[in-house]
Chain A
Amino acid sequence: DAKTTQPPSMDCAEGRAANLPCNHSTISGNEYVYWYRQIHSQGPQYIIHGLKNNETNEMASLIITEDRKSSTLILPHATLRDTAVYYCIVRPDYGQNFVFGPGTRLSVLP
């Protein structure tokens, strides 16, 4: 079973920040938080991952709470092309197996 809980769907206005929450209350100290997204009919695309510290790359920012029980993926200026299903995954650093939940379907509206 997936170790994360995400809202099934969210809307965001184009040009605004999209903040996607994820709860992972049973996360262990060596488990990373990964985010992927899947645009319709394509394979999942890696976005970002982190362990404890907040992370930022050219696609997004990842904010992890101090107790690591939840995180937020931030798309700073959402575009229509960001419409996708976003998956939050908790994965041990020593293992390889991702367990995908149903994710959050983000709709960016014009």
Chain B
Amino acid sequence: EAEVAQSPRYKITEKSQAVAFWCDPISGHATLYWYRQILGQGPELLVQFQDESVVDDSQLPKDRFSAERLKGVDSTLKIQPAELGDSAMYLCASSYSSAGETQYFGPGTRLLVL
């Protein structure tokens, strides 16, 4: 069964450092999402891509976060500089199209900022 891949699974960094997360969606899925999940809460959408274009980044803290999906396949989420409050699980999801398809999630990257 096809799955969303994410790496690394765990990342520990010091505040003010840069971190990057990678996501490879299910093959053929045009829509890709990045979510952030703080411990004890549900995931919150950070950014949504349709192919290589950003559809929604209204909740992305653009002063320190950036996301790209250059060829419309895999994607990278970057934080620079990391802050203590960025400690969370970062989840990637994908869906086949923008026409109401089910989202499938990857295993996530757990970030700890010291």
Contacts and interface: CB of A to CB of B under 8 A. Distances in A.
Contacts, number: 56
B103 A96 contact: yes
A43 B45 contact: no
Q: Which of A44, A49, A97, A100 is packed against the most chain B CB atoms within 10 Å?
A: A44
Interface residues of B, number: 27
Interface residues on A, range: 20 to 34
Contact of A46 (B48, B91, B102): B102
Given A97-B48, A102-B42, A46 B56 contact: no
A54 interface: no
Nearest to A101: B42
Interface stretch (B66-74, B80-88, B106-114): B106-114
B104 A46 contact: yes
Interface in A59-75: none
B92 to A, nearest CB: 8
Given A41-B110, A43-B91, A100 B44 contact: yes
B100 A94 contact: yes
Interface of B: 4, 6, 31, 33, 40-45, 48, 55-56, 91, 93, 95, 98-100, 102-108, 110
Interface of A: 2, 32, 34, 36, 41-46, 49, 87, 91-103
